[in-house]
Amino acid sequence: MNIIGIGGTDGSGKDTVGQLLAEKHGYLFLTVTDLLREEAKKRNLPMERQSYRQISAEWRRYHGMAVLIDYALQKFKSLKEKYQGLVVASLRHPAEADRIHRLGGEVVWVDADPRVRYDRITSRNRGTEDHITYEEFVAEEQAQMQHSGDQATLNLSSVRAKTDIFLTNNGNDIEKFKDAAEKALSGLLK
């Protein structure tokens, strides 16, 4: 099975890499953020990152630390004859990176300068989810970098430490970034 996990900071270009692998290489691209948005909507929770963090931690406590990867695998298994592989974004817990590695996959980390990323997310216009100040954005990111509370909470620093390939996306030319990403990932594409 060809599987790639994508981690990285908010607004760095993780979905761009996932979409590239889907469109050009036949991968099924699943974003756990969409799954968490659906659950927040079902629960009538605010559509914001805090709600998603709450849900993901809850699911990890009850279903295991790699539950979001397991969900993506279930979906892939029901559709696998249609795809060359599976790409999952966004890894936010070290157990998710470990699960990708145990499955023989690779973990990719996408990052960019915080100000560049902030400008990207605030221009998306996703309602209240992206309407925060730069200071709030930076504070939220710091909160995601280490476990806060129990081991089920986010820990991006540990995901980054388990990464196989690093991509930087500081520019505004999306095609140039896609070209650079494809070149960096060429060894993974079978």
Q: What is the CATH number of the domain that holds 50?
A: 3.40.50.300
Structural domain includes residue 188: no
Per DSSP, the three-state class of 141 is: helix
Residue 137 lies in a domain: yes
CA distance 113 to 62: 35
- Alpha carbons 155 and 146: distance in angstroms, whole number: 4
- Give the span between the Cα atoms of 91 and 158, in whole angstroms: 10
Give the residue carrying structure tokens 């520019």: 171
* Count of CB atoms situated within 10 Å of the CB of 97: 27
Cα 63 from Cα 141, distance rounded (Å): 25
Structure tokens at 176: 């140039």
pLDDT for res 123:
87
Task: Tell me the C-alpha distance between 163 and 169, whole Å.
Answer: 16
Q: Assess if residue 64 is contained within a domain.
A: yes
The pLDDT profile of the chain, 190 residues, written as one tens digit per residue, is 899 999 999 999 999 999 999 999 999 999 999 999 999 999 999 998 889 989 999 999 999 999 999 999 999 999 978 999 999 999 999 999 999 999 999 999 999 999 999 999 888 765 555 578 999 999 989 988 988 888 999 999 999 999 999 999 999 899 999 999 999 999 888 6
What is the count of structural domains for the chain? 1
> What does the longest C-alpha to C-alpha distance in the chain come to?
45
SS3 assignment for 55-78: HHHHHHHHHCCCHHHHHHHHHHHH
The answer as to whether 190 is a domain residue is: no
11 in a structural domain: yes
pLDDT score, position 149: 81
Looking at residue 81, its pLDDT comes to 87
Range of the domain at 146: 3-182
